[in-house]
Structure formats: structure tokens, C-alpha cells
């Protein structure tokens, strides 16, 4: 059961407009979302993630492709016939109805009897911790409370899939962080499939079982948060998720398990290929090295793989960030924990060595 | 009064309000006051008034004392019937304007923003022409050998012209056409503020389109609908061009009655003033009910 597919999206393509004026919103999207999964669509604004969510919800049509929900095509179903509920970005609570009536709306439309609606509404109010607020109007609640009502309203009819369209984006930072835990807790207690749209990578990394990274209407990579972070499939994903150094280089030689790369500026580094495809000799690549996968050492020590000149150090609280110039135009960002003793051993202008945790270096060609 | 205006403008406030007070006082309140006074005066036969206090005008409106005024008073139905006809014609015009105006406003509000301006512009275009000319045009359109009947005859849908001129239907057409934008514009203004994601949320929660319309859209734009109804109902009540030009003598409305009393030398100024006061009272009652209703729903909302 665990691997049952909740939603199978096959080759979905969407254009806005027609003829030569048309713009491509989604291109050939295929992805399978598992039952009971917290699945996140992540990408910058305009990447098509919200469009894809709205297509699943039935609010947008599309030109090609198919969407199967638990074995049945929902392509032809209008929004009000799909067993899918949405938490809207600005909540879209009905302003002239009480909180209870908002939460019970879907059940009422499904023709449930009054006793059942009352019971389920109580249950939902409990779940989102708003038991005392049932008789208020949405305008009388804070943003965070309204957000929870929107969630309760979408969960009340017990849909098979819940769609969440940037539900946390209107909340302040503290509230957003506590709502992340809240969302996870609620999903785990109910066992529903959540499809979550966000442009906030931290949100995506902390909440999701799997993430689909999107850009310009295309899927870039689908995988677990660790997978996406540690094994980005391309330059876009490496750059979009977390911080990384992208250093231009050329593959000089390859063996079965490592590639010899020459960085711009002339220095060379050997990158293991255990967790990535083997590049061709002569390929121009970008080496993606995350700031936390490097350490600073004496320039003449054996462990120094690259050398450079320390340009700047910035105290970030838990971390200290160093900018090291390894070539006229290339600055490497290195991040060390502030607790390390070595922090104050270096001064701007010093020649330093960089030790790279080369198991995490990725060679990216596109 | 508000306690919020401080600083340099606080002293100027009353002076800045002066033009508004002058306009309201001189152009609104004093004519009404003059009417009120005139309605209690005695008529002068060549038009005008004699400064003798009397209730004769109101008496004439409601009671019939015979040709020479010496019979025991009976209910006078002539004017009450005219008044009644005005009310139902105005109500019907309001209803028609709502039935046509609401979908129009909904249509415009759901167009892309650039197209909305064009549609709104088109709604207002007929109003660049004087009301009198528009009403006369309507008369030409619907007369027995006018284009509407000609077309219907030519297509074989009817075998004889439909007689519309001098019927209540013609008056209704005139009223409806005169005041339609007064419904479209406030409803559109409310609809433009309506967040259509509410309709999406309703559809998402399994509501049908009609249920969404009745229980989500209409409650949200209700203030615009009420404003539109008032803006159509009130001028329709007092209209005189449409009933005069399209309705003829049998479809007199209160506006025509009042107009007649002040026209030429045959009129009766106190009687016209009294009829105006009665009309004004009826309109005020409607407005009072509306504000009462508004404040009640306002409290419920907050």
C-alpha cells in the first residue's frame, strides 16, 4: 500500500493564449505522486508550479496529457466533482459565514446530514486548535488562525489529496516555522496525500517526503530533500537549492571512479564519480561545491587541494563565511561553524589552502 | 467629531466644508422647504400661490368631495392609483434592470482588466445623448410601423404589428432603458472587489455553479445590488419623460402628475407640491429602511 500511486501525471503540457502569442506554461510534465506522501512543487515564481497545482484542482484546463487519481482519469471532471481539496494562498474563506460554516461547507455540499457535519466540524476545530472560535467570522481571526481554518476546511471532507498553494507565504517568520510542524503533524495523523506548492526552499526541505524542482514550466528533478540537496541533477537545481559555488572547469582525464578536472585559473582537482554519471574527457563542466563542504588549512599542507587568497570573512552567527579568491574572477565561498578554534587564525590577504570534501562535489554539464 | 484630524488642517476643516454645506443648503434643502411650504398654501388660478394656510392640496390627493366640494368625503382613488402605478412600474423596472444588469456586471468583471474599461465605456455610451432624445428614439423604435415591428413582420414571426405605444409595457421599456447603467455600475464596482478565488473555493468544496452564485457571490456583492436598486427605483418613481412620451394619458405616473401641475397656467402649484412631498416621503421611507438594514448587517459582520 505504501507505494500506491495517488496521482499519476503524464506528459501534461499547457499553453496560455493561442497561435504565435501563446506562452508555454507547462512542458511535458510527468510525475507520480505516492499515496500518503508529502510532495512539494518547488521553484521560483513563474516556473509553473501553481499552474500544475491548479490543473490538478480543476481550475485550469490543459492541452495535452493525462491525470489519473487513484486509477481514474480526472481530466474531464470539473473542480466541484474532484475528490481533491485546496488550501488557497490567501485562504479564500467565505467572509459572510462563521468559521464552523466555512469548515462544514464541503460536507454540506456532499449532502452529509447535520449531525455528521457537526461532529466532523468539531473534530476539525480540535485538530487545528480553534475549538473556541467556531462562531466567529473569518475577519475576526488573525492571519495564522485563518490559515488553520482554511486547512480545516480543506481537510473536513476527507479528500484523497489535499492541494496547498503557498499556504504559509502570508504569515510572519515565527508563525511560518510553527505552522510547518503543525502541517506535518496533521498530515501524519490523518494519512492523506499532500501536494504543497512553495518557492521557499527551506520550507520544502524541512517538510517534504519528496520534492519536485521546477523551472520555466519543466520538471528539473524529483527526489527526497537529501537527494535534491546532495545530488542536484543540473546547474539550476544546484544553484536554486541552498548555496553553492559553481566553478567552471574542464574534464582532463577520467578513470573508472574519478575524474581529473582543471579549474578555471589552472588548479586541478580529482572528483570521485561514485554518485554521479561519468563525464567525457574534454567536457566543460561546472563544479558544484557547497560552502559547508570545504575547510580552510595552511596553503602548503598536504590536505590543501586548492589554494587562494582570503578576501573577506563575515560573521553569520552560527557560521563564519569566508570568501577566497582562487583566480582573478573566481571567488569561493566557504562556511565554517563559529565554534571552531581555527576561525581567527586567518586574516584577509593571507594565502590559504582549501580542503574539499570531494565526495560531495558534483560535475554538472547543464 | 472624528478626533483624528489634527495639525494644520484642523482649523481649516469647517471652512473647507463650507462649499458643500452651501450647495446642500441652497440647492437641496431650500427647494424642498419651499415645496413643503407651498404644499400648505392656496392655489392661484393662473399658476402660483396665495399665502393662505390650507390642507386643501393633501385633501384633494386623498379625498373626493364631489365636483363642488360640498359632498361628504369619499376616498379619491385617481391619484392613489397613479401613485400605485408609479410604485409597481418602478419596482418592475428595478427588477428588470437587476436581471439584465447583474449578468452584465458579472460579465464585465470577469474580463481581463484592459477589456473591462472598453466594456464599461460601451455601457455609458448611450448616456451621452439626452434622456429626452433617447426616450423619443425608443418611441420611434417600437411604434406600430417602427423598425422593431417591421423586422418582426418581415421575418414572419408576427402577422400584425405588436401595439406597444401608450401601453404600460412601453413605459416599462423606457424606464428600464433609461436607468440600466445605474444598476450595472454599482454592481460592477462591488463585483470588481469580489475575490473570485471564493468562487474557486466553493467549487473546490463541491458546490454547483448556481449554489455558488446564490450563496457566495450574491451575498458578497449585496451592497452593490442594493445601491443599484435604489439608484434605479428612486428616479423611476419620479420619472415623467417615459410615461409622458411612451405611455400616454392612461399610463400617468406621479412624475407626470407633478410636472403637469407646474406647467403653463393650467396647473395647481400647491397640489403639485403636495404630490412631491408624498413622493419624497415614500422615497425617504425606502432609504431609511435601507440604512437601517445596512447598519444591521454591518453590525453582524463585525
Q: Model confidence over A256-278: pLDDT tens digits?
A: 888 888 888 888 888 888 888 88
Q: Is the pLDDT of residue A152 over 80?
A: yes
Into how many domains does chain B fold? Answer: 1
What size, in residues, is chain B? 302
In sequence order, what are the beta bridge partners of A327? A330
Residues of A whose CB is below 8 A from B220:
95-96
Is residue B59, in this structure, part of any structural domain at all? no
Is residue B53, in this structure, part of any structural domain at all? no
Q: What mean pLDDT value characterizes chain A?
A: 89
For A81-105, write each residue's pLDDT tens digit: 999 999 999 999 999 999 999 999 9
pLDDT at B185: 95
Nearest chain B residue (CA) to A156? B205
Mean pLDDT confidence for A216-232: 93
Is residue B156, in this structure, part of any structural domain at all? yes
**Domain with B255 in it: what CATH number?**
1.10.3720.10
**In Å, how far is A84's CA from the nearest CA of chain B?**
7
User: B299 falls in which pLDDT band (50, 70, 90)?
Assistant: very low
CA distance A170 to A173: 9
For A165-186, write each residue's pLDDT tens digit: 998 888 888 888 888 888 888 8
For B114-130, write each residue's pLDDT tens digit: 999 999 999 989 888 89
pLDDT at A42: 95
**In Å, how far is A110's CA from the nearest CA of chain B?**
7
A193 near A85, Cβ under 8 Å? no
User: B2 falls in which pLDDT band (50, 70, 90)?
Assistant: very low
Is residue B48, in this structure, part of any structural domain at all? no
pLDDT at A219: 94
User: A305 falls in which pLDDT band (50, 70, 90)?
Assistant: confident
For B13-31, write each residue's pLDDT tens digit: 888 888 999 998 899 899 9
pLDDT at A255: 86
Strand pairing of B74-75 and B63-64? antiparallel
CA distance A83 to B204: 9
Q: Is B210 in CB contact (< 8 Å) with chain A?
A: no
| Neighbouring C-beta atoms of residue B278, cutoff 10 Å | 20
Is residue B47, in this structure, part of any structural domain at all? no
Structural domain including B149 reads 76-261
What dihedral do alpha carbons B291, B295, B297, B298 form, nearest 10°?
Answer: 130
CA distance A215 to A33: 19
Q: Is the pLDDT of residue A359 over 80?
A: yes
Instruction: Say how far residue A23 (Cα) sits from the centre of its chain.
Output: 24
Nearest chain A residue (CA) to B217? A94
User: B8 falls in which pLDDT band (50, 70, 90)?
Assistant: low
Instruction: Say how far residue B149 (Cα) sits from the centre of its chain.
Output: 29
Lowest-confidence segment of B11-15, B206-210, B243-247 by average pLDDT: B11-15
More confident position, A277 or B229 = B229
Q: Which of A1-10, A21-30, B232-241 has the highest mean pLDDT?
A: B232-241
CA distance A156 to A117: 9
Instruction: Say how far residue A125 (Cα) sits from the centre of its chain.
Output: 29
Structure pTM? 0.81
Q: Is A55 in CB contact (< 8 Å) with chain B?
A: no
Strand pairing of A5-16 and A23-34? antiparallel
pLDDT at B287: 87
Is residue B26, in this structure, part of any structural domain at all? no
| Neighbouring C-beta atoms of residue A296, cutoff 10 Å | 24
pLDDT at B191: 95
CA distance B82 to B85: 5
CA distance B51 to B54: 9
Is residue B147, in this structure, part of any structural domain at all? yes
pLDDT at A178: 86
Interface test with A, best of B205, B214, B223, B225 (most A CBs within 10 A): B205
Is residue B190, in this structure, part of any structural domain at all? yes
Between vectors from CA B135 to CA B130 and to CA B136, what angle results, nearest 5°? 100
Hey, is A304 helix, strand or coil?
coil
Read off φ and ψ for residue B297, nearest 5 degrees: -70, -30
Mean pLDDT confidence for A223-245: 92
CB within 8 Å: A139 and B201: no
Amino acid at each position: 500500500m505504501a507505494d500506491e500511486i495517488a496521482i499519476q501525471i503524464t506528459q501534461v503540457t499547457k499553453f496560455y493564449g493561442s497561435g504565435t502569442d501563446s506562452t508555454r506554461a507547462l512542458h511535458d510534465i510527468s510525475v507520480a505522486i505516492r499515496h500518503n506522501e508529502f510532495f512539494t512543487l518547488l521553484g521560483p515564481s513563474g516556473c509553473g508550479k501553481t499552474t500544475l497545482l491548479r490543473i490538478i484542482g480543476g481550475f485550469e484546463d490543459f492541452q495535452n496529457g493525462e491525470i489519473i487519481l487513484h486509477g481514474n482519469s480526472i481530466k474531464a471532471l470539473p473542480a466541484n466533482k474532484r475528490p481533491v481539496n485546496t488550501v488557497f494562498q490567501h485562504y479564500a474563506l467565505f467572509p459572510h459565514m462563521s468559521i464552523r460554516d466555512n469548515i462544514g461547507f464541503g460536507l454540506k455540499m456532499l449532502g452529509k446530514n447535520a449531525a455528521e457535519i457537526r461532529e466532523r466540524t468539531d473534530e476539525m476545530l480540535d485538530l487545528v486548535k480553534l475549538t473556541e472560535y467556531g462562531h466567529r467570522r473569518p475577519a475576526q481571526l488573525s492571519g495564522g488562525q485563518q490559515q488553520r481554518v482554511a486547512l480545516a476546511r480543506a481537510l473536513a471532507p476527507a479528500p484523497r489529496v489535499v492541494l496547498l498553494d503557498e499556504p504559509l507565504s502570508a504569515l510572519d517568520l515565527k508563525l511560518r516555522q510553527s505552522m510547518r510542524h503543525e502541517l506535518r503533524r496533521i498530515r501524519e495523523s490523518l494519512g492523506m496525500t499532500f501536494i504543497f506548492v512553495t518557492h521557499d526552499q527551506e520550507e520544502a526541505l524541512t517538510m517534504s517526503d519528496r520534492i519536485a524542482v521546477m523551472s520555466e514550466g519543466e520538471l528539473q528533478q524529483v527526489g527526497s530533500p537529501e537527494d535534491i540537496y546532495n545530488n542536484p541533477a543540473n546547474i539550476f537545481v544546484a544553484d536554486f537549492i541552498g548555496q553553492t559555488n559553481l566553478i567552471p572547469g574542464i574534464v582532463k582525464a577520467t578513470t573508472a571512479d574519478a575524474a581529473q578536472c582543471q579549474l578555471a585559473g589552472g588548479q586541478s582537482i580529482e572528483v570521485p564519480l561514485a554518485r554521479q554519471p561519468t563525464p567525457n574527457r574534454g567536457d566543460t563542466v561546472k563544479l558544484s561545491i557547497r560552502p559547508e563542504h570545504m575547510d580552510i588549512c595552511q596553503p602548503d599542507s598536504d590536505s590543501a587541494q586548492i589554494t587562494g587568497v582570503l578576501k573577506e570573512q563575515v560573521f553569520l552567527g552560527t557560521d563564519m563565511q569566508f570568501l577566497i579568491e582562487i583566480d582573478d574572477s573566481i571567488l569561493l565561498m566557504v562556511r565554517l561553524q563559529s565554534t571552531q578554534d581555527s576561525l581567527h587564525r586567518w586574516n584577509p590577504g593571507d594565502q590559504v589552502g582549501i580542503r574539499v570534501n570531494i565526495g560531495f562535489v558534483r560535475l554538472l554539464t547543464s | 467629531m472624528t478626533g483624528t484630524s489634527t495639525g494644520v488642517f484642523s482649523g481649516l476643516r469647517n471652512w473647507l466644508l463650507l462649499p458643500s454645506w452651501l450647495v446642500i443648503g441652497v440647492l437641496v434643502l431650500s427647494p424642498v422647504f419651499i415645496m413643503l411650504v407651498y404644499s400648505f398654501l392656496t392655489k392661484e388660478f393662473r399658476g402660483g400661490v396665495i399665502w393662505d394656510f390650507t390642507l386643501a392640496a393633501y385633501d384633494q390627493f386623498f379625498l373626493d368631495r364631489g365636483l363642488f366640494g360640498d359632498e361628504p368625503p369619499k376616498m379619491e382613488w385617481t391619484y392613489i392609483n397613479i401613485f400605485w402605478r408609479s410604485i409597481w412600474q418602478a419596482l418592475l423596472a428595478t427588477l428588470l434592470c437587476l436581471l439584465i444588469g447583474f449578468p452584465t456586471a458579472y460579465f464585465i468583471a470577469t474580463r481581463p482588466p484592459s477589456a473591462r474599461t472598453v466594456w464599461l465605456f460601451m455601457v455609458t455610451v448611450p448616456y451621452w445623448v439626452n434622456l429626452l432624445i433617447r426616450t423619443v428614439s425608443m418611441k420611434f423604435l417600437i411604434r406600430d410601423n417602427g423598425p422593431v415591428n417591421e423586422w418582426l413582420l418581415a421575418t414572419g414571426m408576427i402577422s400584425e404589428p405588436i401595439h406597444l405605444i401608450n401601453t404600460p409595457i412601453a413605459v416599462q421599456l423606457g424606464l428600464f432603458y433609461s436607468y440600466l447603467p445605474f444598476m450595472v455600475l454599482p454592481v460592477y464596482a462591488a463585483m470588481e472587489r469580489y475575490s473570485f478565488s471564493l468562487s474557486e473555493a466553493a467549487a473546490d468544496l463541491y458546490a454547483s455553479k448556481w449554489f455558488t452564485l446564490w450563496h457566495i457571490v450574491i451575498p458578497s456583492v449585496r451592497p452593490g445590488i442594493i445601491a443599484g436598486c435604489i439608484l434605479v427605483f428612486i428616479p423611476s418613481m419620479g420619472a415623467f419623460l417615459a410615461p409622458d412620451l411612451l405611455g400616454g394619458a392612461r399610463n400617468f405616473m406621479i412624475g407626470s402628475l407633478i410636472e403637469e401641475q407646474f406647467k403653463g397656467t393650467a396647473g395647481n402649484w400647491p397640489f403639485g407640491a403636495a404630490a412631491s412631498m408624498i413622493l419624497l416621503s415614500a422615497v425617504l421611507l425606502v432609504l431609511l429602511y435601507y440604512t437601517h438594514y445596512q447598519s444591521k448587517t454591518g453590525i453582524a459582520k463585525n
